[in-house]
Amino acid sequence: MEERLKEQFDSILDDERLKKQIDFIVEIDKEKNINRQTHLSGHGRAENDAEHAWHMAIMAYLLKEYSNEPIDVAKVMLMCLIHDVVEIDAGDTYAYDKEGLKTQKEREEKAKERIYSLLPEDQKKVLTDLFDEFEAYETAESKFAHSLDNFQPLLLNNSNEGGDWKAHGVNSEIVYTRQSKTALGSEKLFKVTDAIIQDNIKKGNLPL
């Protein structure tokens, strides 16, 4: 938070816990400035991380019945909302960027420590544990959240006639390699994913 704002809050608040929470709240506003490679539906502008997270959280609630396993949907929604906060420091790593993916974990671990350390210790632990759970890809909630993380940009790409795939020279084999993991969280959503990919292959939006 800017020094001027810190001084304003210091003069108003004497609650250290609340100060830390407000610092974190203001810090994560920066997520709105992190643009993704995915564009908004109907050939819109580049989507930002905060919009992606919001979209996923709504999808988690609406599509919860399609999870392969019973889930705590509130937990999934929070997981969706916080999973990309680290990109404030680490930046967005495109799903098909081989070089960027090599350093992604290291960059995000450093960002996780700095950003979540703004919070009171108990809340830092809750959110970092949730982030780590998402990354580990082992629980029903994390698998379903990852399915949504795959499915959301696929829907936008489909609405844009494969514009982002074309821009990055992505073919159907590469897309299938990533999207095959969708089935780990939701076989139903993977069936829809498969239909969308096949349709885009037929339309020429995705080369074989």
pLDDT tens-digit series, residues 113-158: 999 999 999 999 999 999 999 999 999 999 999 999 999 999 999 9
Mean pLDDT score, 87-99: 77
* Cβ–Cβ < 8 Å for 31, 53: yes
Smallest CA-to-CA distance from 36 within 105, 94, 99 is with: 94
Could you tell me the CA-to-CA distances from 6 to 13, 25, 68, 88, 178 in Å, in that order? Answer: 10, 13, 46, 20, 43
Can you tell me whether residue 90 is helix, strand or coil?
helix
**What's the pLDDT at 43?**
86
Residue partners of 111: CB distance under 8 A and separation at least 6 = 86, 87, 88, 89, 90
**What's the pLDDT at 208?**
87
* Cβ–Cβ < 8 Å for 178, 171: no
Can you tell me whether residue 170 is helix, strand or coil?
coil
What pTM value is reported for the model? Answer: 0.89
